[in-house]
Amino acid sequence: MRFSLIIEIARALMTARIKQTLVAAVGVTFSITMFIALLGFMNGLNDLLDGLILNRTAHVRFYNDIKPNEQQPLDLSEEFKDWFNVIRSIKPTVSRVSIYNNEAIIRTLQADKRVLGVAPKIAVQGFFNVGNVDLPAVLNGIAVEEEDRLFAFSDYVVAGDFMDLKYSANSIILGKGAADKMMADLGDYVQLTTAQGNRVLLKVVGYYQSGIGELDNLQSYVSLNTAQKMIGETSSYVTDIQVKLYDFNLSPGLAREYSSIFGIDADDIQTVNAQFETGSQIRSLISYAVGITLLVVSGFGIYNILNMMIYEKMDTIAILKAIGFSGSDVRYIFITIALVIGFVGGLLGLIFGFIACLGIEQIPFETEALPTIKTFPVDFSPKYYLIGGVFSLITTYFAGFFPSQKASSVDPVEIIRGK
């Protein structure tokens, strides 16, 4: 009975000052709306920017690195074996670039339950011969279907069919920058000279555009078999093994584990691309800080409105206490008012925030640097709505708690005597 009476009194006080109540609710609604829209938009951009690099990067990459010989002739000399030898300009040793017994390594990795997939690759250095000009080129020999499954290769092929690499012999998908420089159309043939001195004619079956100009000027793609033939190697020749995991946070441990087992070098995505993760965290932190600041500001607005309501309703509070309401009852009344404002304003803010995100997602965003993006990216993660809803209630609770403490300590005798 007392609880329903407190609700009824809180409703009467809110409707008596309906304009102030609406202003407070609108403040909460606006804050939550901007909080949801800001976080959705900022984190959508984070996912886009990270995806440009991280989605196209293996979680773990196995390869044989080129290193200088650790044992120099001077170190092997009996005459100088006890000396402290300083040797400058040490040249790299003749080392094996291809991965030995890569078929067994790939099978072992595929059997690991942490591994989503494995894609072998061959890196080929060369030059495109365009008249009297040689353009530098880096060709990636890929397993076409696995490359598409693990790294969304087809999303970046802006012209042609990426599967033509597999079914057309001596075909190539040119980087968009290189294709523009050579004015190479689909179906044309381009001549390439490899670092080994082999010259090959390759048919252009598509254009690749990653959105990173430096890569698109250099990188092009051929099938694994074509790359092996270009450099005169057998079908077992592979220079890189790319691994995608179900959870990329496991990549450092897996890289160390298999690097020691196989005796080859390994890079993991968290070490190589640590700067991207740091940038995403900083951008997310800024967006959260701005959004929470908006909520705190709206909380101060509710605090001021409730303070004014208490001053204007001193006689009402005195009468309530004179007829038997305790200080805690009065405190509950004003906390109830604050929570109702927070709940209604927060609910409307979540709805309008979702609508705002839908609107942002429809805004055209087309640029040559990002061919796969047509509209602004937005993240609709439920956690933003949960955080916004909970924080709106917490903010309004404290905005009502402190004025309610003042109201609960009102002495009815002094108020009535003053009247």
pLDDT (average), residues 18-29: 80
Tens of pLDDT along 256-272?
Answer: 999 888 888 888 887 77
> What is the SS3 assignment for 400?
helix
Cβ burial, residue 23 (10 Å; 0-12/13-18/19+): middle
pLDDT tier for residue 415 given thresholds of 50, 70 and 90: low
Is the pLDDT assigned to residue 136 strictly greater than 50?
Answer: yes
Tens of pLDDT along 190-242?
Answer: 999 888 888 888 999 999 887 777 777 888 899 999 888 888 888 888 989 99
pLDDT of residue 414: 63
Record the pTM: 0.66
Give me the DSSP letters along 82-147.
TS-----SPPBP----SPTTHHHHHHHHHHSTTEEEEEEEEEEEEEEEETTEEEEEEEEEE-HHHH
Looking at the chain, how many residues does it have? 419
Closest CA to 268 of 54, 112, 59, 109: 59
For strands 219-223 and 60-63, give the pairing. unpaired
Retrieve residue 416's tokens: 């009535």
Closest CA to 370 of 49, 141, 149, 128: 49
Residues of the chain with pLDDT > 70, as a percent, come to: 83
pLDDT of residue 1: 42
Rounded to whole angstroms, the Cα distance separating 159 from 303 reads 59
> CA geometry: angle at 37 spanning 31 and 38, to 5°?
85
Give the CA dihedral 310, 312, 314, 320, nearest 10 degrees.
-80
Residue 255, H or E segment: helix 251-262
Tens of pLDDT along 75-132?
Answer: 667 776 677 767 666 666 656 778 888 888 999 999 999 999 899 999 888 888 887 8
In the chain, what are the domain boundaries?
2-54+276-418, 60-268
> What is the SS3 assignment for 325?
coil
Rounded to whole angstroms, the Cα distance separating 343 from 345 reads 6
